[in-house]
Amino acid sequence: MDKDSNKATFIFSSFMVVVIAILLSVTAISLAPYQEKNVRVEKMKNILSSVSIPTETSETEAAFNQYISKQIVLNNKGEQITGNVTAFDIDLKKELDKAKTGKTNEQLFPLFICTKDGKSFYIIPIRGKGLWGPIWGFISLESDKNTVYGVSFGHKSETPGLGAEIETEKFQQQFVGKKIFDDSGNFVSVTVIKGGAKPDDTHGVDAVSGATITSKGVSEMIKRTVNNYIPYFKKQGVVASTN
């Protein structure tokens, strides 16, 4: 075959494409377990971050097993579910999306209980939408299941210096000590307020300047997701009534 012919060039190109595709596939398959582990470790790190337990990557799994004393799976009625599914492996996005198709009775919600310094903290995963893409995180409550102990937020593509500020300690620290129930026991959540919250507002924090949509997304994310846990808290005898 003439090596300079179009046919030879086509055959060689096709061969190289096949070889490269095989190499990429083999590489992807071989790296998959490491990528999956990294994702799990990052999730553990974010869970611990919501209760002010910073860790190095190499120490995260051990710290998670040490401090997370219990993992609970709840249905939409606040009832604890037992079975093969574990709280850590639940995909919250898929569970929240079930509400869009009327399958709320099939929803499962993960709840993590942290034991730290002899006290219990309830960690709730949250997920919503910012300006450019999904936002997510974890919010931890003190043993009264009302007072926010800490939060940890993440995002996919928010603007640096604007919406991306939800990841900063300065923004997240505002949530500490806020309440999710009012004095009558009604669930009111915590709201990110444009223009700033009043000093005595136990349910409000200052919005990120110039990031109105992302700030609203954080408020909506917390209220909509945490609301799914209110039936469980109510069964614990800590809620008088809900909105």
Q: What is the pLDDT of residues 52-103, one digit of tens each?
A: 999 998 999 999 999 999 999 999 999 999 888 899 999 999 999 999 999 9
Burial, 163: exposed, middle or buried (Cβ in 10 Å; 0-12, 13-18, 19+)? buried
CA dist 230 and 243 (Å) reads 10
Low-confidence residues of the chain: pLDDT under 50: 240-243
User: Is 1 contained in some domain?
Assistant: no
Both tokens of 213, joined, read: 């949509």
User: Is 228 contained in some domain?
Assistant: yes
User: Is 115 contained in some domain?
Assistant: yes
User: Is 56 contained in some domain?
Assistant: yes
Pairing type for strands 191-193 and 204-206 reads parallel
User: Is 229 contained in some domain?
Assistant: yes
CA atoms within 13 A on the CB side of 132: 11
Overall number of domains in the chain? 1
User: Is 48 contained in some domain?
Assistant: yes
* Structural domain boundaries enclosing 130: 42-67+111-235
User: Is 78 contained in some domain?
Assistant: no
User: Is 82 contained in some domain?
Assistant: no
